[in-house]
Amino acid sequence: MLRNAWKWLSILVGALIYALGLNAFLVANHLAEGGFVGISLLLLYKLKWPLGLTFFILNLPLLVPGWKLFGRLFILQTTLGVLAVSVFSSLTARLQVPTHDPLLAALYAGVVTGLGLGIIFRAGATTGGSDIIARIIHHYFRVSMGRTLFVIDVCVIGLVLVIIGRETAMYSLVALFVASRVIDFVLEGVRSGRAVTIISDRHEEIVQCIHERLERGTTLLQAKGGYTGAEKQVVYCVVPRTEVPRVQNIVSGIDPYAFVVVSAVHEVLGEGFTYNPPSTG
């Protein structure tokens, strides 16, 4: 029950942060966005239609088919996200931070709006609009959501280019890119790490050193060389990013000819990362 309440609260907090980013940096500096928010901003700039109300009206036709296709909980959370963004956009309309440097405005807009959207997405909701359209197209035509969202954003930025101007479109793209990176960071969390795969004939010594020096667990995988046909023991270990050089030093110190692959791991859960066993001392 408490977890569900926290999710609903997260949607509201994310919507508030997103609305602040829209008004404080995008609207204040006459920049744009992608998706339905971008269309709402264009209507605000050219026709003086209120951002929050326009955004809500644009989303209304999509909620009913979304309910039928994706279920009650998803649409309830998304409706809350849409409604919260609309309300908070109206309440924060006067909280603007104009600047003479549009690049600075785009960077701040990307960080703040990306943070807000990341919190909303992490709670399992969306802000509707192009996301629902992408889901509907994927449901019926099996076109990837990422491709559809990209096409929609390109079309909206194209409208910005034609209606407002080239520089506004370029700075808006900067804001979109920064926002996407911040969203990824929020969704992946600070618990990202690196997976290290080690192939060496001296795997036992390497495993022992990793256990003793880093106090990290390892997994031995049975493998077979594709070229030689020889049986191999592969060492698999997940460590924080800061410990990768220590692993590399251990491996090179024991077997300079070892084959080592370091891969990005977006989120690591479990002992040593999100759980520490109680002390037995």
- Do 236 and 184 belong together in one domain? no
The angle at the Cα of 58, spanning 52 to 59, to the nearest 5 degrees, equals 90
Say which DSSP state 93 is in.
T
* 143-201 tens-digit pLDDT: 777 678 888 988 999 999 999 999 999 999 999 999 988 887 887 765 668 899 999 99
Which residues are bridge partners to 232 per DSSP? Answer: 223
Question: Over the stretch 45-86, which tens digit does the pLDDT of each residue have?
Answer: 999 999 999 999 999 998 888 888 877 888 888 899 999 999
Residue 270, domain member (yes or no)? no
**Measured between alpha carbons, how far is 59 from 63 in angstroms, rounded to an integer?**
7
Residue 281 lies in a domain: no
Statement to judge: residues 239 and 115 lie in one domain:
no
Domain count, the chain: 2
Asked if 111 and 207 sit in the same domain, the reply is: no
Asked if residue 272 is part of any domain, the answer here is no
42 domain residue, yes or no: yes
Instruction: Show the domain range for 204.
Output: 193-265
Banded pLDDT at 281 (limits 50, 70, 90): very low
Closest CA to 15 of 128, 96, 145, 103: 128
Within this chain, do residues 52 and 99 fall inside the same structural domain, yes or no? Answer: yes
Domain end point (choices 188, 219, 254): 188
Last residue of a domain, one of 188, 216, 233: 188
DSSP 119: H
**Do 233 and 138 fall into the same domain?**
no
pLDDT of residue 277: 55
* pLDDT tens-digit map of 123-139: 878 888 888 888 788 78
276 assigned to some structural domain = no
Mean pLDDT of 96-110: 94
To which residue do tokens 């960071």 refer? 185
Mean pLDDT calculated for residue range 242-256: 91
Q: Are residues 8 and 107 in the same domain?
A: yes
- In whole angstroms, what is the distance from residue 53 CA to residue 99 CA? 26
Same domain, 158 and 222: no
Residues 178 and 208 in one domain: no
Q: Which residue has the higher pLDDT, 280 or 124?
A: 124
